[in-house]
Amino acid sequence: MSTQAPAATTGTRPVLEIFAAFLKLGLTSFGGPVAHLGYFREEFVARRRWLDEAAYADLVALCQFLPGPASSQVGMSLGILRAGIPGALAAWFAFTMPSAVLLVLFAYGVRTYSALVDGGLFHGLKVVTVAVVAQAVWSMGRTLCPDRQRLTIAVVSAGLLLLWPGTLAQIIVIGVAGLVGWWLTFPGHAPGTEIERVPVSRMSATVAAVLFLTLLALLPLAAGETGADGLRMFDSFYRTGALVFGGGHVVLPLLQAEVVPRGWVGNDAFLAGYGAAQAVPGPLFTFAAYLGASMRVEPNGWLGAGLCLAAIFLPSLLLVIAALPHWHRLRANRSTRSALAGVNAAVVGLLLAALYQPVCTSAIGSARDFALALAAFLLLAVWRVSPWIVVVATAVGGAVLAR
C-alpha cells in the first residue's frame, strides 16, 4: 500500500510558510531528537496536515537509517516534500539558527569571562555532560541492543575504541559491526509505506550522491595538500557529519577526536560547550557552531561558527536528496536492515567508550562530582526533567560545591 505525499509547490509563499513553521520550532523545541520528532508530528501531521501518519513514519525511518542528525534530516525531508530543495534549506536554516546563535554567544561569553566560567559553573557544565551521555547510553542500549548478540557487539566495540581511540578506529569498528550484522541477519525495521511524488528528480539524487562521495574523498586530500586551517576544519566537520550513525550524542566522541588532539579547542571548553548545548532548543549538532566560534586558529568567531555549521550539516542535506527517491526499495532489503542493526549496536559501544573517555575522566574528580552527576542522571532518566533545567541546576550545583 502506498501513501501519497503532497506534491511540491512553487514560489516564495510555501518557502516562507516552511521558514515560519520551523522557526517557531527552532525557538521552542527543547528535549533532544526524540522530542523534536514528536513536535514535528504534532505540527505537520496533526495540525497542518502536510502529510499523513504513515508517510511521516516512513520519513522518520529514512532518517534513522542515514548517518547524521535524524531530527534535522526529517525537517529537511518535510521541506523537500513541501517545496523542493529550497524548502529543505528554509526548514534547516529556521530550525538550526536559534540554537546556533545562542551557542556562539556562549562561546564569546566563555572567552570574555573566562575567570568566572573557569570556576564552579564551568565545572558543573562538564559534570552534567556525564549525566547526559549516560542517559543516552542507557536509552539507546535498551532500544538498539535488545539481545545478547547486539549487546556483545556494543561492549566489544567500546573496548576496542578505548584501547585504540581515534577517528579511523571508530570508522573501522562501525564498518565491521555492519558486516557482522549482515552475517548474523538481525531483524531490522520492517519496510513500511512508500512516499510518492518526491519532488527530487533521479538526476538530482544522483548528483547529490556523487557530490557527497566526492567531498568525502577529496576534502582530506585538499586539506593535507594546502594545510589551510579553514579547509582542514571544513574537512573534519564534514567527515563527522557524514560518518556519525545514531546522530545526537554520538557526535561527541567524533568531534572530540577531531578538535581536541589538534589543539583547536581545549578539552574543558569542549565539554562545557557540550553541556551548554543541552540547554538550548533545536538540534544538538549546532554544537559545531560553538566549536567553530571557540577555535584557537582562524577562522573562528562568527565566521568559524558558520563554516563548521555548514560543514557538519551539508552531508545530511546531500544524503536526504540522494535517498528520498530510492528509499522504499532500499529499506525493503533485508540484508541492508540487518547490517544497520549491527551498526546501531556499535554506535552504542562508541557512546559507551566516550562516557568513560573523555567525559568521566575529564569531569569527575571527586566523590562530590560523582554525586552531582548521579543526581543529574536521576533527574533526566527517571524524573524526565527538561534537559535545560537539569543543565542550569547542575551548573549552579557545581558553583556551590566549588566554594
CA 186/CA 334 separation, integer angstroms? 9
Residue 265: what are its φ and ψ, rounded to 5°? -140, 135
Instruction: Mark out the alpha helices in 278-326 (DSSP H runs).
Output: 287-294, 301-323
- 367 vs 225: CA distance, rounded Å: 48
Q: So what's the pLDDT on residue 212?
A: 97
Residue 83 included in any domain? no
Phi (first) and psi of residue 373, to 5 degrees? -65, -40
User: Which SS3 state, helix, strand or coil, does residue 2 take?
Assistant: strand
- Among 132, 18, 97, 171, smallest CA distance to 377 is for 132
Q: Are 81 and 51 in contact (CB under 8 A)?
A: yes
Question: Are the CB atoms for 321 and 88 separated by under 8 Å?
Answer: yes
Amino acid at 273: G
Question: What are the φ/ψ torsions at residue 195 (nearest 5 degrees)?
Answer: -90, 120
Model confidence, pTM:
0.85
Total number of domains in the chain? 1
Predicted local distance difference test score (pLDDT) of residue 127: 87
Domain-located, residue 57: no
In a domain, residue 348? The reply is yes
Q: Enumerate the H helices of 356-386 as residue ranges.
A: 361-363, 367-377
The answer as to whether 3 is a domain residue is: no
Please report the pLDDT score of residue 168 as a whole number. 78
CA distance 48 to 45: 6
Residue with cell 566549588: 402
d(CA 297, CA 76): 32
Burial class (CB in 10 A: 0-12, 13-18, 19+), 152: middle
With CA atoms as reference, report the closest residue to 320 among 23, 70, 109: 70
Cβ–Cβ < 8 Å for 246, 73: no
β-sheet bridge partners, residue 2:
194
How far apart, in whole angstroms, are the C-alpha atoms of residue 113 and residue 195?
Answer: 51
Structural domain that includes position 114: 101-401
Residue 29 lies in a domain: no
b/e 363-378 (16+ beta carbons within 10 angstroms → b): bbeeeebeebbebbbe
Residue 82 identity: R
On whether residue 177 sits in a domain, the answer given is yes
Is residue 77 included in any domain, yes or no? no
Domain presence at residue 317: yes
Most distant CA pair in the chain, distance: 64
Residue-wise pLDDT tens for the chain (403 aa)? 344 445 555 567 899 999 999 999 999 888 778 778 888 988 999 899 988 887 787 788 778 778 899 899 999 999 999 999 999 999 999 999 999 999 999 999 888 776 555 566 778 888 888 888 888 888 878 888 999 999 999 999 999 999 998 777 888 898 899 899 989 877 655 555 555 567 888 899 999 999 999 999 999 999 999 989 999 999 999 999 998 876 678 888 889 989 999 999 999 899 989 999 988 999 999 999 999 999 999 999 999 999 999 999 999 999 999 998 887 676 667 787 788 788 888 888 988 998 898 889 888 989 999 999 999 999 988 998 887 888 889 888 888 877 6
For cell 550484522, the residue is: 181
